[in-house]
Amino acid sequence: MKEFNLIQRYFTPASLAPDTLLGVGDDAAIIQPPAHQHLAVCVDTLVAGVHFPKDTHPRDIGHKALAVNLSDLAAMAATPRWATLALTLPEHDDTWLTAFADGFHTLAREHGVDLIGGDTTRGPLTITVQVMGHVPPDQALRRDGARPGDHILVTSTLGDAALALAQWDHPNPAPTLRARLTRPTPRIAAGHILRGRAHAGIDISDGLVQDLGHVLKASGMGATLQAGALPLSEAFRHAMGDGTNWQYPLAGGDDYELLFTLGEADVEPIREQLAGQGCPATVIGRIEAEPGLRVLGPDGAPLTLEQGGYSHFGN
Amino acid sequence: MKEFNLIQRYFTPASLAPDTLLGVGDDAAIIQPPAHQHLAVCVDTLVAGVHFPKDTHPRDIGHKALAVNLSDLAAMAATPRWATLALTLPEHDDTWLTAFADGFHTLAREHGVDLIGGDTTRGPLTITVQVMGHVPPDQALRRDGARPGDHILVTSTLGDAALALAQWDHPNPAPTLRARLTRPTPRIAAGHILRGRAHAGIDISDGLVQDLGHVLKASGMGATLQAGALPLSEAFRHAMGDGTNWQYPLAGGDDYELLFTLGEADVEPIREQLAGQGCPATVIGRIEAEPGLRVLGPDGAPLTLEQGGYSHFGN
């Protein structure tokens, strides 16, 4: 952690919280994790042209690189605190770096995250962010706790980002859809509400079906989804007109909404609490002991998907 | 942190220590940092063709990707415990991945490091590793504590890796030099010995002059180095024959040795302790209140360098 002039120049936060003892500029940062809490740690890489269109605005790339990681912490019900940034850049472009750093820092400040370290290298645009947050012992929201009869819920709406990506080169893209793709909202507050109450949870980054599949596999369960119950935005419905392409909300990915399972008695109280935080949640199916995922269309007949979700290496 | 089949298949450790509560496979890992300790966190990216020759053996790349980060923890006097891995690969190559993972895990096991998370993406070969370790409060080895009159020491020998890189395409490269480039040894035990005793420290990754420069800048100090005192290996002396190219040990980089400063009374006791751990250290100069770095040749005359060290963006 030495190649640090660029990180120091563009990314050093204006101030650091007291539990960040040493930030950017030494061989390593020194932090003081809170007593009696566990730490949640995750890392995600964004590659230009793979995870975002190459002409995405650098401010949006800075936002998204942090947001996708905060979404993973939200899906563990953790409180974000620290981040590191490894940035591989084709060239030193002041305008690009200033906008990227602004997008990153604006979201970081919003969630009280200190950037504590990083590395800059030259090469094709690739951004790896690691975030660390804390969570009370035994209250992390894991994938492996879904139980038969649990209701399956998701926050906000699905499919908007995938539709925005499909319309990326449209001359008049719908701005609300595009914002869902370029500036996802990590559901940190929702994660906190689910602490100790949801049986299992995950964030939807690779598509509902694939991510629910991870929960089912980890929990040894199956499920039935009701496509007709999927929460769709006004902009999405408007763009779809008479027919809905279920591929977007079921398998599109990039939603960064939380999927979680609740016992029956918790469904309404939790939905009310989430709505109170401006984050409505919708019941979209049930967990079942019988393995496999069954997706039913609005008419009650099974739906078949062209593709289950995104995979870099086809496995 | 979802695209995880490759990480799970190749990189899940055989066993995890009790303070790794949840490893690879959920949205985030959960760890239990030790009570009453601080955490040291660092991240380093290696780009093929920039940080290592493209035909480097994948086992060596796996070793080095972790080793350069452990070296940063050593330079903070920390004890390594956890790592994450973000791997961007041009293709899924089982032979390559198996060898890379073996190099990574062998070094990880040696230092008690658990791999707790990661991400795999498709693109030009780029490896970002983040490591976390613990260090007792106020015993981290920082860059900003050098004092006038301090002796400047380095562990082991300098310049071997840079010479090996210069001879990379040689038909008969010296194996001991090449091993210094491809399989650097993080000086974790040496860092522990320096805890609470060295006034300042850093690891030498970008070249002695540049890295000492970071210590001088952070400490607001200057220094004089004696080139004739630089520790050179037998293999290095042999390859150099009648004349030494000072560029290698002074500015070559990739040594991953520790540079540190000690008050006079500590020099011999610490050197003895380090030698007892198989890691000899050599006095190579003194810290001075006068700013600037003065390098004297073996004849006592000032040496001038062609280049101060490696920088990706020339700043």
CB of B204 closer than 8 Å to CB of A27: no
With contacts defined as CB-CB under 8 Å, which chain B residues touch A45? 86, 88, 119, 121, 128
pLDDT exceeds 70 at position B307? no
Which of A76-80, B196-200, B299-303 is the least confident region? B299-303
- Please give the DSSP secondary-structure letter assigned to residue A227: G
Cβ-based burial of A171 (10 A; exposed 0-12, middle 13-18, buried ≥19): exposed
Q: Which domains can be identified in chain A, with CATH numbers?
A: 5-135 (3.30.1330.10), 151-296 (3.90.650.10)
Size of interface A-B (CB pairs under 8 A): 221
Banded pLDDT at B303 (limits 50, 70, 90): confident
Query: Is B86's Cβ below 8 Å from some Cβ in A?
Result: yes
Query: Is A88's Cβ below 8 Å from some Cβ in B?
Result: yes
Which of B128, B132, B195, B215 has the highest number of chain A CBs within 10 A, making it the mutation to test binding with A? Answer: B128
Please state, in angstroms and rounded to a whole number, the distance separating the CA atoms of residues B177 and B161: 6
Q: Which residue of B has its CA nearest to A124?
A: B124
pLDDT exceeds 50 at position B312? no
Cβ-based burial of B172 (10 A; exposed 0-12, middle 13-18, buried ≥19): exposed
Query: Is B50's Cβ below 8 Å from some Cβ in A?
Result: yes
Q: Which residue of A has its CA nearest to B143?
A: A26
Give B193's contacts (C-beta < 8 A, 6+ positions apart). B270, B273, B274, B277
Residue B313 to residue A143, Cβ atoms within 8 A: no
- Per residue in B167-215, pLDDT (tens digit) is 999 998 899 999 999 999 999 999 999 999 999 999 999 999 999 999 9
B102 marked among binding-site residues? no
- Per residue in B99-150, pLDDT (tens digit) is 999 999 999 999 999 999 999 988 889 999 999 999 999 999 999 999 999 9
Angle, vertex CA A236, rays to CA A231 and CA A242, nearest 5: 100
Query: Is A266's Cβ below 8 Å from some Cβ in B?
Result: no
Please state, in angstroms and rounded to a whole number, the distance separating the CA atoms of residues B85 and B130: 7
With contacts defined as CB-CB under 8 Å, which chain A residues touch B35? 35
User: Which tokens hold the place of A88?
Assistant: 């591989």
Q: Which of B27, B40, B130 is closest, CB to CB, to A30?
A: B40
Per-residue pLDDT, B315:
33
Q: Where are the beta strands (DSSP E) in B61-143?
A: 79-89, 114-122, 126-135
Per-residue pLDDT, A312:
44
- Per residue in B39-93, pLDDT (tens digit) is 999 999 999 998 999 999 999 999 999 999 999 999 999 999 999 999 999 988 9
The predicted model gives A20-41 an average pLDDT of: 94
Count of CB atoms situated within 10 Å of the CB of A192: 17
Query: Is B123's Cβ below 8 Å from some Cβ in A?
Result: yes
Query: Is A126's Cβ below 8 Å from some Cβ in B?
Result: yes
Coil/strand/helix, residue A13 = coil
- Per residue in A199-238, pLDDT (tens digit) is 999 999 999 999 999 999 999 999 999 999 999 999 999 9
Coil/strand/helix, residue A87 = strand
Cβ-based burial of B281 (10 A; exposed 0-12, middle 13-18, buried ≥19): buried
Which of A27, A88, A93, A134 has the highest number of chain B CBs within 10 A, making it the mutation to test binding with B? Answer: A27
Query: Is A204's Cβ below 8 Å from some Cβ in B?
Result: no
Per-residue pLDDT, A9:
82
End-to-end CA distance of chain A: 33
The predicted model gives A78-98 an average pLDDT of: 94
pLDDT over 70 for what percent of chain A?
A: 95
Please state, in angstroms and rounded to a whole number, the distance separating the CA atoms of residues A297 and A300: 5
Could you tell me which of B305, B281, B282 has the C-alpha nearest to residue B295? B305
Per-residue pLDDT, A123:
86
CB of A36 closer than 8 Å to CB of A131: no
- Per residue in B226-273, pLDDT (tens digit) is 999 999 999 999 999 988 899 999 999 999 999 999 999 999 999 999
B25 marked among binding-site residues? no
- Per residue in A116-150, pLDDT (tens digit) is 999 998 888 999 999 999 999 999 999 999 999 99
With contacts defined as CB-CB under 8 Å, which chain A residues touch B39? 30-33, 39
Cβ-based burial of A123 (10 A; exposed 0-12, middle 13-18, buried ≥19): buried
Judged by CB atoms within 8 Å, which residues 149-188 of A form the interface with B? none
A57 marked among binding-site residues? no
Query: Is B190's Cβ below 8 Å from some Cβ in A?
Result: no
